[in-house]
Amino acid sequence: MLSRRGRPPLWLGLVIVMGLAALAGAGREAARWLRSERITGAAEVIDGDSLRVGGRELRLEGIDAPEYRQTCRRGDSEEPCGRQAREALARLVGSGPLHCDVDATDRYGRGLATCRAGAVEINRMLVRDGMAVAFGRYEDEEAAAQAARRGIWATRFQRPADWRTSHPRSDP
C-alpha cells in the first residue's frame, strides 16, 4: 500500500501509531500478569482484609477493612464492625478453594493479592457490600456502598488507617 510517491499513506501511519500505543497500555497489564504469582487453596481468615492461603499470609489489595478490635457507632450504640468485616470475608471465602493473584508484597512481607472464590472477586465484593473502604482501587464500589448506606456506611466510623493511627498496636 504505497502512495504514488512510494510512501505509505498518512492514515496507515496513524493506525500504526495508535496500535503501538494500545500495545504499550496492554503491555503494562501483561507485564503485571506475567510477574504475578497464583496461589490456590483453602483460606484461613485473619481479619477483614487478611487471610492465609497455602501457608502464605496475604493482604487483599486495593481495600482497607476495619480492624478486628474496631467499633463503629450506629445511633447511640457501638457495633463490632471489625469483627463484622472478618465474618463477611469468611462468608465470601466459604469452604471451597480460593484463587489469589499476588502482584507484590507489603512492608510486612505479606503478599498483596486479588482473590476469587469461583467467579466472585472477594476484594471488590467487600467494598461493594460496605465491609471495607477503597484503598487505591474500587472507588466506584465504595461510592455505591456509601450511597446505599451498606455495611459501615450505615454507621459513623473512623477510616481503618485513621483508627490504626489512633490505636497503635502494643506488640511486645
Residue 30's pLDDT band, with cuts at 50, 70 and 90, is: very low
Tally: H helices and E strands in the chain:
5, 11
Please say if the pLDDT value at position 34 is more than 60: no
Q: Could you name the CATH architecture of 35-159? A: Beta Barrel (2.40)
pLDDT of amino acid 51? 96
Higher pLDDT, 138 or 6: 138
Record the cell numbers describing residue 9, joined without a space. 499513506
Of the listed ranges 8-17, 45-54, 90-99, the one predicted with least confidence: 8-17
pLDDT of amino acid 3? 54
Rounded-to-integer distance, Cα 33 and Cα 55, Å: 22
pLDDT of amino acid 137? 94
Please say if the pLDDT value at position 150 is more than 70: yes
Q: In the predicted model, what is the mean pLDDT of residues 88-98?
A: 90
pLDDT of amino acid 16? 72
| pTM higher than 0.85 | no
Residue 39's pLDDT band, with cuts at 50, 70 and 90, is: very high
Question: Which of these, 43, 56, 50, 55, lies nearest to 68 by C-alpha position?
Answer: 50
Mean pLDDT for the chain? 87
Residue 171's pLDDT band, with cuts at 50, 70 and 90, is: low
Q: In the predicted model, what is the mean pLDDT of residues 110-133?
A: 96
| 3-class DSSP string for 89-127 | HHHHHCCCCEEEEEEEECCCCCEEEEEEECCEEHHHHHH
Q: In the predicted model, what is the mean pLDDT of residues 122-148?
A: 97
Rounded-to-integer distance, Cα 109 and Cα 107, Å: 6
